[in-house]
Amino acid sequence: MPFQLPPLPYPPQALEPHIDAQTMEIHHGKHHATYVANLNKALEGQEAAEWPIEKLMEHVSRFPVAVRNNGGGHYNHSLFWNWMKPGGSTPAGDVLDALNRDLGSYDAFKEAFTQAGLTRFGSGWAWLIVNGQKKLQVVSTPNQDNPLMDIAEVRGIPILGMDVWEHAYYLKYQNRRGDYINAFFNVINWDEVNRLYRNAMS
């Protein structure tokens, strides 16, 4: 099969107490695995099944909605596992300079990112992107859309994303999305965010 489920980069219990093991097991082993299986089914026998996932996102308007939903699900979650790490980290390096320069401060970023997650009605994602002007910007998208897609309202390169679907938090936090968002900040892998920032700027 052309698209494959990447392994979790840490054991499912490694993000506790912020993100619980059962949520991680189901989120990765069931939800993400299903996006991969359905993406492969949707592209069976087509040339695009061999494309890099980024190229698929950039041309997603040419494809049926199953590719948008499941391709987005695969791309978003493949990044998402690496945007978290056991014990979390503090922002540093070029991306911290850019947060201060483009968004005012780390605290201003945190407030904007929290609001993007809280106000996304239903299912979706909050994002920190490098936009077309090479500036950091906080946006959100519905469902499994992302800012790399050619159909996105605001396009850019995602360097951090937060899943705010209920399947990301309901077992531990039930309806308290705000508590999950606060917990997410404790597990962000800023080394990875900084690496993606530097790639996006080069």
Question: Which residue, 163 or 192, has its beta carbon nearer to Mn ion?
Answer: 163
Nearest residue to Mn ion, by Cβ distance, number only: 163
163 binds Mn ion (CB under 5 A): yes
The side-by-side arrangement of strands in the sheet containing 124-131 is 136-142, 124-131, 156-163
Closest approach of Cβ 100 to Mn ion, in Å?
A: 30
CB of 47 to Mn ion, least distance (A): 28
> Strands 124-131 and 156-163: what pairing?
antiparallel
- CA-CA distances (angstroms) from residue 7 to 56, 98, 144? 21, 31, 20
Query: CA 200 from chain center: how many Å?
Result: 16
Q: How far is the CB of 168 from Mn ion (least distance, A)?
A: 5
Nearest to 130 by CA among 161, 157, 104: 157
Q: How far is the CB of 19 from Mn ion (least distance, A)?
A: 12
Stretch that binds Mn ion, among 105-113, 128-136, 155-163, 190-198 (CB under 5 A): 155-163
Per-residue binding string, Mn ion, 56-95, x by CB under 5 A, is ----------------------------------------
Backbone angles phi, psi at 107, to 5 degrees: -65, -40
Of the pair 124, 156, the CB lying nearest Mn ion is at: 124
Amino acid at position 190, single letter? W
Query: What DSSP state is assigned to residue 120?
Result: S
Q: How far is the CB of 198 from Mn ion (least distance, A)?
A: 26
Binding residues (CB under 5 A) for Mn ion: these are 163, 165
